[in-house]
Amino acid sequence: MDEESPSSRKSNEIEHKVYARVGLLGNPSDVYYGRTISFSLANFWATVKLQPSHHLIITPHPTHDLVQFSGLDHLVNRLQSEGYYGGVRLLMSICKVFYNYCNENNIELSRENFTLSYDTNIPRQTGLSGSSAIVCAALNCLLDFYKVRHLVKVEIRPDLILSAEKELGIIAGLQDRVAQVYGGLVYMDFNKDHMEKLGHGVYTPMDTSLLPPLQLIYAENPSDSGKVHSTVQKRWLDGDEFIVSSMAEVADLALQGQTAILEKDYSKLADLMNRNFDLRRSMFGDDALGSLNIEMVEVARRVGAASKFTGSGGAVVVFCPDGPPQVKLLEDACKEAGFVIQPVKVVPSYLNEDDLKTLPG
Ligand SMILES: Nc1ncnc2c1ncn2[C@@H]1O[C@H](COP(=O)(O)OP(=O)(O)O)[C@@H](O)[C@H]1O
Ligand SMILES: O=C(O)[C@H]1O[C@H](OP(=O)(O)O)[C@H](O)[C@@H](O)[C@@H]1O
Ligand SMILES: [Mg+2]
């Protein structure tokens, strides 16, 4: 039972909002010591709320963690469309990772307890990083509740978020978590030497106003990033030459993309985006990517736009080099195909003063 009065509970409540993210170039090479350019997307977000309480409670979400059904058919339909898991396991896992990290680094935590709850409007498992948005928002709540934000370096936080998902067997990389910890547009280099020496990549924030207008297409089409990645990851670990060299080329697209964006060379950006998807397709194969996901990319290409996945599948980021008339054509094509389309809104960097103090320099 919560022993505190509702009013004091309200005043002690901590809430954090973390946005979805778009992998603009280079993904999924972040999983393989590569490079990416990603940004946080204002269109969708997850929130996590922390209230002090007597016991430590993880509150299931009324719809994302459904455990009551109208009958067997409802239960089976639900499992078929959304799978077995919601966000509860993510919240539990970040609590464990946070606790262990603090113990190992002699960061003392007071013995107070809390209740965590979450909500999200990020379309589920669409490669918009709905999973790490929940984990990142929870980590932010824990950092503030235990007043240890200044003791846990910004650069290390994406690793903690990733560990929480790895703990659950989800195969994922760092780009989502970096974009979600930093906010804004970030160029990321996950070079093996840095990763081994520093324990994290090198992250360079970029000016979001350098980006041209972009569009987002998605479909209600849950796809599990872990499942999508498993075969390619195994082949990469086995040293499969085709995968190793293609992944290096994907990483190189982000390097070229950094220059293209800085120089506002948008026709180059369009070429790089298209090449990024073509390489993903040749590595993962059409079965793993799914016909609906491929169709989203192709709808955009049929109107002459550049397109690629934002993550491992479910949503696509599109650049229309010919401007508004081409966007209109794309909107019509998406409507006909039954896909949702929205203009991309980019979130500016959201590091606060305490966060910035933990960065070098
Ligand atoms: N919208 C959501 N609500 C609740 N849990 C979610 C949601 N999206 C993802 N998850 C949880 O995260 C896990 C991994 O999701 P993932 O395949 O990484 O999707 P995403 O592309 O959204 O990050 C899921 O199995 C589920 O436990
Ligand atoms: O395949 C990708 O591009 C990304 O897949 C995962 O993201 P998700 O939003 O869950 O699809 C993974 O976590 C990223 O690191 C990959 O780049
Ligand atoms: Mg994810």
Write out the catalytic residue numbers.
Answer: 176
pLDDT tens-digit profile, the chain (361 residues): 343 333 344 678 999 999 999 999 999 999 999 999 999 999 999 999 999 999 999 999 999 999 999 999 999 999 988 889 999 999 999 999 999 999 999 999 999 999 999 999 999 888 999 999 999 999 999 999 999 999 999 999 999 999 999 999 888 999 999 999 999 999 999 999 999 998 899 999 999 999 999 999 998 776 766 677 778 999 999 999 999 999 999 999 999 999 999 999 999 999 999 999 999 999 999 989 989 999 999 999 999 999 999 999 999 999 999 999 999 999 999 999 999 999 999 998 877 778 777 777 6
Return the residue whose CA atom lies nearest to atom 21 of ligand 1: 127
**C-alpha–C-alpha distance, residues 292 and 297, integer Å:** 9
Return the residue whose CA atom lies nearest to atom 12 of ligand 1: 131
Cα 350 to middle of ligand 3, angstroms: 21
Q: What pLDDT was estimated at residue 224?
A: 67
Cα 131 to middle of ligand 1, angstroms: 4
Nearest to 342 by CA among 20, 7, 60: 20
Contact 52, 112 (CB under 8 A): yes
Q: What pLDDT was estimated at residue 1?
A: 37
Return the residue whose CA atom lies nearest to atom 16 of ligand 2: 28
Return the residue whose CA atom lies nearest to atom 14 of ligand 2: 173
Q: To test the ligand 1 pocket, which listed residue (81, 94, 124, 223) has its Cβ within 8 A of the most ligand atoms?
A: 124
Q: What pLDDT was estimated at residue 207?
A: 93
Query: What's the complex ipTM?
Result: 0.96
**C-alpha–C-alpha distance, residues 219 and 216, integer Å:** 10
Q: What pLDDT was estimated at residue 81?
A: 83
Among the atoms of ligand 2, which is closest to the Cα of residue 313? 11
Q: What pLDDT was estimated at residue 3?
A: 39
CATH number of 6-209+347-356: 3.30.230.10
Q: Is 28 in the pocket of ligand 1 (CB under 6 A)?
A: no
Which ligand is nearest the CA of 27, by number? 2
Q: What pLDDT was estimated at residue 356?
A: 75
3 state DSSP class of 185: strand
Does domain 214-343 match CATH 3.30.70.890? yes
3 state DSSP class of 23: strand
Q: What pLDDT was estimated at residue 125?
A: 82
Which ligand is nearest the CA of 170, by number? 1
Domain ranges within the chain, ordered by starting residue: 6-209+347-356, 214-343
**C-alpha–C-alpha distance, residues 148 and 230, integer Å:** 35
Q: What pLDDT was estimated at residue 83?
A: 85
- CB count within 10 Å of CB 206 equals 17
Q: What pLDDT was estimated at residue 360?
A: 72
